[in-house]
Amino acid sequence: MINSTQFSYIILSAYADIKLIKYIFFMIFTVLYFFIICANMLLIVVICLNRSLHEPMYMFLCSLFVNELFGSSGLFPFLLIQFLSDVHHISNYLCFLQIFCVYSYAGVEFYNLAVMSYDRYVAICFPLQYKTRMTNNMVIMLIVVSWLPPLLMVTGTTMLSFSLQLCGNVINKVYCDNYSVVKLACFDTSVNNIYGLIVSVGSIICALTLIFYTYIKIFKVCFSGSSETREKAVNTCSPHLASLLNFSFGCLFEVSQSRFNMSNVPTMLGIFLSIYYFTCQPLFNPVLYGLKMSKIRNTCKHLLKKR
């Protein structure tokens, strides 16, 4: 018979190895979080206040930056507190709230990138029809589609995991991870696994199908079009592709951390890899789009000159 206990908290054992370097971690991640907040907030304010940036592409970027603030704020404050704390545990309620924030961020980010690929597809393949296709109602609907399904799916995942009876309360992570918590369950987790598989595979296939379809069409137009068309496509698509690849690498690192034995990886490297897409993606996107998009760059320069 399985010995089950109702635990009221989860112990995060990954902090046990950091010892004195916790102060170094605290300083590094404080600086990173500060830059993430400043960079994303700056671009959100710039897009919202400047009417010339009230175009579909910039609205989708604004949605992306809001999600990055949401994701990083769901992790970093807790992370910083844990680095300075001597007791590395988290209550069940906060643990599952963090799971909700972490997984929602990942889902919304992926869907946002898929919606942005569709926007680039319409702009490049149907330039004359862009304004009639990408109306205000269409933009609002696409933003809702990029947020609502991931939030609903993650809500289901979190509720199923929260109802589990746990036989242990120690996970080798620096934050709460759904897969690690489900592995602690005393009883059969088939429902959680099947639901998670269907939701994950279904959402990934939907988003990737849209991304692949739009880029196949974009490349087809580029190869058959003029050099000016190709240059326009490269300028508008390269930031999106770079962001998509960066996020994919972050997800790959996270899956590797959760699914495989990473005990041979140095502690500092392991922590950075496990939160790569919470750190590099929110830093990478504002810098990338801020430098690459001439309208955003010029607006920021104009605001700084005025000040």
More confident residue, 302 or 37: 37
- For CA atoms 63, 69, 70, 75, give the dihedral sign: positive
- Looking at residue 304, what is its pLDDT? 62
pLDDT beyond 70 at 241: yes
Structural domains in the chain (count): 1
Q: What's the order of all strands across the beta sheet hosting 89-91?
A: 89-91, 9-12, 170-171
38: domain CATH number is 1.20.1070.10
pLDDT tens track for 94-128:
999 999 999 999 999 999 999 999 999 998 888 88
Distance CA 189, CA 196 (A): 11
Does pTM top 0.75 for this prediction?
yes
33 is written with which tokens? 């979080």
- Looking at residue 59, what is its pLDDT? 93
DSSP code of 90?
E
Full residue range of the structural domain in which residue 121 is found = 9-306
Confirm whether 47 is domain-assigned.
yes
Of 213, 300, 250, 291, give the one whose Cα is nearest residue 106. 250
Mean of pLDDT over the chain:
84
232 is written with which tokens? 């326009």
**What share of the chain in percent tops pLDDT 70?**
87
CA distances from 156 to 121, 149, 151, 191 (A): 32, 11, 9, 11
Confirm whether 266 is domain-assigned.
yes
pLDDT tens track for 162-197:
888 888 888 888 888 888 888 888 887 888 888 888
Confirm whether 108 is domain-assigned.
yes
Confirm whether 298 is domain-assigned.
yes
- Looking at residue 70, what is its pLDDT? 93
Confirm whether 4 is domain-assigned.
no
- Looking at residue 48, what is its pLDDT? 87
Confirm whether 199 is domain-assigned.
yes
Confirm whether 22 is domain-assigned.
yes
pLDDT beyond 60 at 2: no
Confirm whether 86 is domain-assigned.
yes
